Structure 1
Amino acid sequence: MMLTKNSPAAACAPGTPAGIIADAEAQALAQSLKAIADPARLKLLSIISAQDRGEACVCDLTEPLGLGQPTVSHHLKILVEAGLLTREKRGTWAYYTVIPDALRVIVERVTAL
Structure 2
Amino acid sequence: MIASPGCCETTLSSPLDSATAATLATTFKALGDPVRLRLVSLIAAARGEEVCVCELTPAFDLSQPTISHHLKVLREAGLLTSERRGTWVYYRIVPEALQRLSDVLIPVDMTAASA
Q: TM-score under structure 1 normalisation? A: 0.75
Structure number with the bigger relative contact order (C-alpha 8 A, sep ≥ 6) is: 2
Picking from 62, 65, 69, the partner of 1:67 is 62
The alpha-carbon deviation at position 42 of structure 1 amounts to 1.0
What's the TM-score once normalised by structure 2's chain length?
A: 0.74
> Within the alignment, does 1:48 sit opposite 2:43 as a pair?
yes
Give 1:98's aligned amino acid.
I
CA distance in 2, matches of 1:24, 1:66: 37
| 2:95 aligned residue | 100
Equivalence for 1:31: 26
Identify the match of residue 81 of structure 2 among 76, 86, 110: 86
CA distance in 1, matches of 2:22, 2:48: 32
Checking the alignment, whether the CA contact within 8 Å between 2:48 and 2:92 is kept in structure 1 is: no
Name the residue aligned to 1:3.
none
| Shift in Å, 1:56 | 1.1
Q: Is the 8 A contact 2:43 2:91 kept in 1?
A: yes
Q: For 1:59 and 1:91, how far apart are their aligned partners in 2?
A: 12
- Larger Rg over CA atoms: 1
Runs of at least 4 residues off by over 2 Å: 109-112
RMSD (Å), alpha carbons: 2.0
- Structure 2 gaps of 5+ residues are 1-13, 108-115
CA contact (8 A) 1:48 1:97 kept: yes
Distance 1:102 1:53, change over 3 A: closer
Residue identity over aligned pairs, in percent, reads: 49
